[in-house]
């Protein structure tokens, strides 16, 4: 009799385990149905930068550059102004990053540190690559290991337009700077 109850208990344990697994599987399946899972969605989180640019223009000790009139396909993804006393000795720094119409990255990096220091931070292995004319300025073209840049002096500061974007897209960004 004891052997019969031991066998019966083993079957009940297996049956209970299978029923528990089915119950948990059902709950997981219901959860999956209600969670958003759009694989074709746009992962870019767009930020508003115009208010930050207006504030930064008042605070910066150099003529701060910010784009006006860029097409909507230029999507701003990051914006920051850090005063020198909050920037670990890297001067007063302005940053505005974009995803370009071609899906590449372009950023405005502007600071009152030396041009060489700014280049070392943002364009590793930068080598001169000619010049470009945009917005009434002559910009130095620089090709890095992975990125490229357009650079120009802005009073006591240096402005870099940098990223994986082509020189043409960087020049389009330069043309919109005010």
Res 127: pLDDT = 96
Predicted confidence band of residue 10 (pLDDT cuts 50, 70, 90): low
The CA distance from 114 to 49, in Å, is 25
pLDDT tens digits, residue range 124-142?
999 999 999 998 999 999 9
pLDDT tens digits, residue range 137-177?
999 999 999 999 999 998 898 999 999 999 999 999 999 99
> pTM, whole model, 2 decimals?
0.76
Q: What is the dihedral of CA 155, 157, 163, 167, to 10 degrees?
A: 20
69-75, Cβ contacts within 8 angstroms, sequence gap of 24 or more: 69/176, 70/98, 70/172, 70/173, 70/176, 71/101, 73/100, 73/101, 74/98, 74/99, 74/100, 74/101, 74/173, 75/44, 75/46, 75/99
Q: Tally helices (H) and strands (E) across the chain.
A: 4, 7
Res 124: pLDDT = 94
């Amino acid at each position: 009799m004891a052997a019969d109850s031991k066998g019966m208990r083993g079957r009940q344990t297996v049956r209970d385990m299978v029923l528990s697994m089915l119950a948990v599987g059902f709950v997981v399946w219901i959860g999956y149905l209600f969670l958003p899972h759009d694989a074709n969605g746009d992962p870019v989180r767009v930020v508003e930068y115009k208010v930050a640019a207006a504030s930064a223009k008042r605070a910066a000790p150099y003529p701060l550059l910010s784009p006006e009139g860029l097409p909507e396909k230029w999507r701003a993804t990051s914006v920051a102004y850090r005063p020198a006393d909050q920037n670990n000795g890297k001067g007063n720094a302005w940053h505005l990053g974009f995803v370009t119409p071609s899906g590449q990255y372009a950023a405005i990096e502007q600071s009152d540190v030396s041009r060489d220091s700014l280049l070392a931070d943002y364009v590793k292995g930068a080598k001169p690559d000619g010049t470009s004319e945009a917005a009434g300025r002559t910009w130095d073209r620089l090709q890095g290991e992975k990125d490229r840049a357009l650079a120009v002096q802005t009073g006591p500061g240096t402005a870099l337009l940098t990223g994986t974007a082509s020189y043409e897209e960087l020049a389009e960004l330069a043309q919109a700077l005010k």
